[in-house]
Amino acid sequence: MPASNANDPSRTRAGLPWYTWDVVLLGVLFVFGTFGNAFPLLSYVGGLRNDKELVFGASMWLVLFTPIAFICLVALIVRIIHCWPLRIVHLRRLIALQIVVSLGTLAYVGLPFLLLQYGPPACEMHMWGMRKYVRTQVDVAAIRAWLDALDPNAWHGVQIDVRRDEESKPVLVPDDVVLPPCLLCLEPRYVALSSVEDGGLAVILTWGSGFLGTWHLAIGPETMETPPSELARAAGYSLDVFPYNVTVSPGVLIWHDRE
């Protein structure tokens, strides 16, 4: 048996099938392609959880994984061109396998980059997910009841920095402001209040950071028609255009300020 294995052209010197490395390379590329193709879904899930750290962490892994995938792709192409003809005797079978494996692998691995260029932006997918988050997790009625009890003249332009102490409890700056539990449970990074056209108040919640980008939720009266650009100024942002904005319901808006 050992002698026959040694002379078997279908096996390597280690006794493994000659295509073992092809399977390994294809497996690595399949994982890379699947990981990259899942990015739109990850952005949507991030919106459902109102959290982009999942997407940010995945993007870092993808950046680290890309050079490895490129090396595996080059190695696979070399094996397809130089090694397969030495192992596959039938010419038609060889050509068919070379075409199918090459085109299939290139298409699957290249699809994430096509989605990045031509697919829906990650911010848009995040907004779609967050729309469902707001509908299911945010107590809009309780927040409006709190807003109705405030004096618009006293609260217009108030900006609150919501920090966390060592025990992850909210610490408000300025510290003389009291926010209701229906807001604090959403764990915003910043809270701002602004008067709207009908004399009522709107509250703007902000999440994110410089690395992740920032996204916002504005809740005001059902008749509120104030555009995101004006609401954003109350939150300390001077941008005039927000291409990724969604009206969740009358008087409830979400938007993402940048990629």
Confidence of residue 259 (pLDDT cuts 50, 70, 90): very low
Return the ∠ at Cα 44 (arms to 40 and 50), rounded to 5°.
140
Start-to-end C-alpha separation, the chain: 62
Amino acid at position 19, single letter: Y
pLDDT in tens, 58-87: 778 888 888 999 999 999 999 999 999 988
Q: Which two tokens stand for residue 161?
A: 């920095």
What are the CA-CA distances from residue 203 to residues 160, 174, 193, 257 (Å)? 11, 16, 5, 17
How many whole angstroms separate alpha carbon 64 and alpha carbon 59? 9
How many whole angstroms separate alpha carbon 55 and alpha carbon 25? 26
Reduced to 3 states (helix: H, G, I; strand: E, B; else coil), residue 190 is: strand
Range in 93-97, 173-177, 231-235, 247-251 with the lowest mean pLDDT: 231-235
If you average pLDDT over residues 39-45, what whole number do you get?
A: 85
What are the CA-CA distances from residue 202 to residues 67, 78, 223 (Å)? 47, 62, 11
User: What predicted TM-score, i.e. pTM, was given to this entire model?
Assistant: 0.76
Of 90-104, 116-130, 236-250, give the range with the top mean pLDDT. Answer: 90-104
pLDDT in tens, 46-65: 889 888 777 777 778 888 88
CB 214 within 8 A of CB 191: no
Q: With a cut of 60, say whether residue 43 has pLDDT above it.
A: yes
Q: Phi/psi of residue 236, each to 5°?
A: 95, 15
Amino acid at position 211, single letter: F
pLDDT in tens, 172-225: 777 788 899 999 999 898 999 988 877 789 999 988 876 667 888 999 998 887
Q: List, in sequence order, every residue forming a beta bridge with 202; answer none if it has no partner.
A: 194
How many whole angstroms separate alpha carbon 185 and alpha carbon 48? 15
What per-residue confidence (pLDDT) applies to 137?
94
The torsion angle over the Cα atoms of residues 163, 169, 171 and 175, rounded to 10 degrees, is: 170
If you average pLDDT over residues 104-120, what whole number do you get?
A: 82
| pLDDT top residue among 231 and 178 | 178
| pLDDT top residue among 47 and 229 | 47
What per-residue confidence (pLDDT) applies to 138?
95
Residue 8: partners with Cβ closer than 8 Å, 6 or more residues away:
none
Residue 230's closest CA among 258, 259, 192?
192
What per-residue confidence (pLDDT) applies to 28?
94
CB atoms within 10 A of CB 34: 12
How many whole angstroms separate alpha carbon 175 and alpha carbon 200? 24
pLDDT in tens, 6-21: 455 555 555 688 889 9
Confidence of residue 163 (pLDDT cuts 50, 70, 90): confident
Q: Phi/psi of residue 115, each to 5°?
A: -65, -35
